[in-house]
A and B are shown apart, each in its own frame.
Chain A
Amino acid sequence: MKDYLIDYTLHLADDALILAQRNSEWCGHGPVLEQDIAITNISLDLIGQARNFYQYAAQLINSSTNNPVNSATEDTLAYLRTEREFKNCLLVEQPNGDWAQTILRQFFFSANQYLLYQQLKNNKDEQLAAIAEKSLKEVTYHLRWSSEWVIRLGDGTEESHARMEKAIVELWNYTGELFVTVNYEQEAADSGIGVDVSLQKDQWTNKINEVFNEATLTLPLNTFQHTGGKNGLHSEHLGYILTELQYMQKTYPNATW
């Protein structure tokens, strides 16, 4: 079995799971009830997508190792891997901050996922294509909702505008990684399975610019960008996220209900 396909599938799963976990921290704390429900609905969609990717990754791993005793499942992949094994981008693990920062993180991510899934649904791997086709409908809602909120806050009051500007400063340096192709992405793209993310940067930037213009916000000029998450080199935040996410299985191994 091709290792790059497993890594690539895990990367897609981890992105969805970690952002879902972050968003779910808002549960019961949203600024108003409807938006509390919206952000947790988005979490639920992302968990569903993560499950589909993990199930597929488990299938790939099991057929490559032929080790039925310790067979991988969606649960072992989510609950038993360590920080360095997670392949999510740095953007999704950044703290929620205030509502502006959560909204902006969702917008940056959804704008990218929208482009990614549009490509992925036509690729050669049937299962990845099917998951992308299915998820794209959900992501369309996420992108529209987060875009509208960026505009509402950016073009809102002095206070909300200032908070959006602060959010841009906090998050911008984590967006570059989305378009830096790592080895498994490159191998997947070369074999017609994945997407060459470096080719999506312009389209993504156009989308961000379009919404930022409406929102009276501007793209930062600084170009320094953090990378590493997709290869397992994370910011300090991921460890805390996993501690909470994996607590039950680590404390009570194999617990079920």
Chain B
Amino acid sequence: MVAGNDILLKNIRSILADITDPEIPVLTINDLGIVRDVIVNDEQIEVIITPTYSGCPAMDMIIMNIKFALIGHGYDNVKITPVLSPAWTTDWMSEEGKRKLKEYGIAPPNPKQQVCNDQLFAADEAVQCPHCNSYHTYRISEFGSTACKALYQCHDCKEPFDYFKCH
């Protein structure tokens, strides 16, 4: 059965690889790094996921989409278990995901987290403009259109843009 399970797991993972974030449709849930594990026991498939932000409304939809996708492929007995710890971090986002984000017009999270502390009026993070690649940008607000984004503007091309902030 071990070999059978391996094939099953591979199958399920490839189904999961097609599920996207409803807010940022270029990112799959694998790119986001929220699928922590897939467990097959007896007849049940359990998918363990880590929510991004506590209040992110996309999470409920992602859970529903995972269920629908698996049921659509004939896996009826599906359980989605959200696990909070270890807490999700933007470090788990794939390089492929970061590339796709940039192409989509959202600056990807910086690889080295610089502002996740309580220091006041810290220098803005150097965030690269996804449109013209300039680092000559500034933060308009650290809260943006969704919980995971901050609002920036580029001094060079003048375009405002979203930054997927470090978390």
User: Residues of A with Cβ closer than 8 Å to B?
Assistant: 34-35, 37-38, 41-42, 44-49, 51-52, 114, 126-127, 129-131, 133-138, 140-141, 143-145, 147-148, 151, 211, 214
Contact = CB atoms under 8 A, between A and B. Distances in A.
Given A130-B85, A144-B118, 11 more contacts: A37-B151, A41-B147, A47-B55, A48-B54, A48-B56, A51-B55, A52-B54, A137-B167, A144-B120, A147-B118, A214-B120
Interface of B: 51, 53-57, 83-88, 116-121, 140-145, 147, 151, 167
A11 to B, nearest CB: 17
Contacts of B116: 137, 140
A51 B54 contact: yes
A149 to B, nearest CB: 10
Contacts of A130: 83-85, 87
Given A130-B84, A133-B86, A134-B84, A48 B140 contact: no
A141 B142 contact: yes
Q: Which of A42, A140, A151 has the most CB of B within 10 A?
A: A140
B85 A145 contact: no
15 contacts: A34-B140, A35-B141, A41-B143, A41-B147, A44-B53, A45-B53, A46-B55, A48-B51, A51-B54, A130-B87, A133-B87, A135-B54, A140-B116, A141-B143, A148-B121
Given A137-B167, A144-B119, A48 B141 contact: no
Contacts of B119: 144
Contacts of B145: 37
B120 A138 contact: no
Contacts of B141: 34-35, 37-38
Given A134-B84, A134-B85, A37 B143 contact: yes
A114 B84 contact: no
